[in-house]
Amino acid sequence: MKMRVVITGANGQLGTALVENAPENVEIVPHTREDFDLRDINALERFLRETSPFVVINTAAFHDTEACETEFEEALFVNAIIPTIMARILEKIGGIVVFISTDYVFDGEKRGELYLEDDLPNPLNRYGISKLAGEVGVSKLSAKFYIFRLSSLFGKTTKRTGNFVLKIIEKATKGKPLRVVNDIFMTPTYAPDAAKRIWEVLLGNFSPGVYHVSNSGITSWFDFAKEILRIKGIDKDVMPVSHTEIKTKVKRPLWSPLGSKYLSPLRHWGEALKEYLEVESWT
């Protein structure tokens, strides 16, 4: 019998990659906002009881970091309360919850080193706080849970400017000026690479707990932007700016590359970016 897995946010970047890379012995039940809004807790409980999944991979999130600052209650509800309720329902019906978290749970103070799974979180912004609250809720209410922390995703998305890569290409091709921060460092992560790794962990012999999943290599957003344009063959200047010059309500960690104590490194982000831009002709 196939293992039934619900994927929320199934048409998002990670959700799409999880669906497209699902192993054969898995029966996917995709969930999107069109089915129902996850904030409808009664509908959520009915759905989980009727579907009776072995695993729910909850990729749905409120991750507009600027909006999370002003809509903190909403951020907490979507990113923490809903996953916690999900965990509670699954605990009752015998399912496992998988929560997708972020490098933004860290404060960036570990400069020069990768953040590992047991490093102490200390989020600097409300998005990070809401995701950490989700981690705590899920881990406290589930006997068996998986938390995957990801960073700076790029992958298939129906939204034309749905990620940094597409935003840079869109702006460059429209002739708009490109000002990109050169003092914030992270690891860009290709959604299909992350999805394959998540499946490996869920179907492999890995203990429940927290795992960091990102491509390898560290870059600034400025160098990332330059590499996107180089691969696309777009001749356009990028102006490096400091994070202090960007008008924003969000305090971001200046350093958040992830590493794992338990999982082998994924390929370099540059190789993955090339595949995204060259093989996936839809960009």
Ligand X SMILES: NC(=O)c1ccc[n+]([C@@H]2O[C@H](COP(=O)([O-])OP(=O)(O)OC[C@H]3O[C@@H](n4cnc5c(N)ncnc54)[C@H](OP(=O)(O)O)[C@@H]3O)[C@@H](O)[C@H]2O)c1
Residues at the contact surface with ligand X, assessed by CB under 6 A: 9, 11-15, 32-33, 37-39, 59-63, 78, 100, 102, 150-153, 157
Residue 13 near residue 162, CB atoms below 8 Å: yes
Q: How far is the CB of 235 from ligand X (least distance, A)?
A: 27
Amino acid letter, 265: P
CA separation for the pair 276, 148 (Å, rounded)? 22
Sort residue 88 into left (φ over 0), alpha (ψ -120 to 50) or beta: alpha
Write down the least CB distance from residue 101 to ligand X, Å: 7
Least Å distance, CB 237 to ligand X, is 25
3-state secondary structure of 208: coil
Task: Provide, rounded to whole angstroms, the least separation between the CB of residue 252 and ligand X.
Answer: 12
Q: Which is nearer to ligand X, 60 or 178 (CB)?
A: 60
Is the distance from CB of 280 to CB of 156 less than 8 angstroms? Answer: yes
Angle subtended by helix axes 41-51 and 82-93, to nearest 10: 30
Residue indicated by tokens 């702006």: 171
Q: Smallest distance from the beta carbon of 183 to ligand X, in angstroms?
A: 19
Distances (CA, A) of 190 to 13, 18, 21, 55, 88: 9, 12, 13, 23, 31
Question: Taking CB positions, which residue lies at the least distance from ligand X?
Answer: 12
Q: Which is nearer to ligand X, 2 or 253 (CB)?
A: 253
Which residue lies nearer to ligand X by CB, 135 or 178? 135
- Supply the minimum distance, in Å, between the C-beta of residue 1 and ligand X: 28
| Measured distance CA(97)–CA(239) in Å, rounded | 43
Closer by beta carbon to ligand X, 16 or else 182 = 16
Q: Smallest Cα–Cα separation from 84: which of 120, 47, 51, 58?
A: 58
Q: What is the DSSP letter of 99?
A: E
Residue 40 vs 177, nearer CB to ligand X: 40
Q: Toward ligand X, which CB reaches closer, 25 or 53?
A: 53
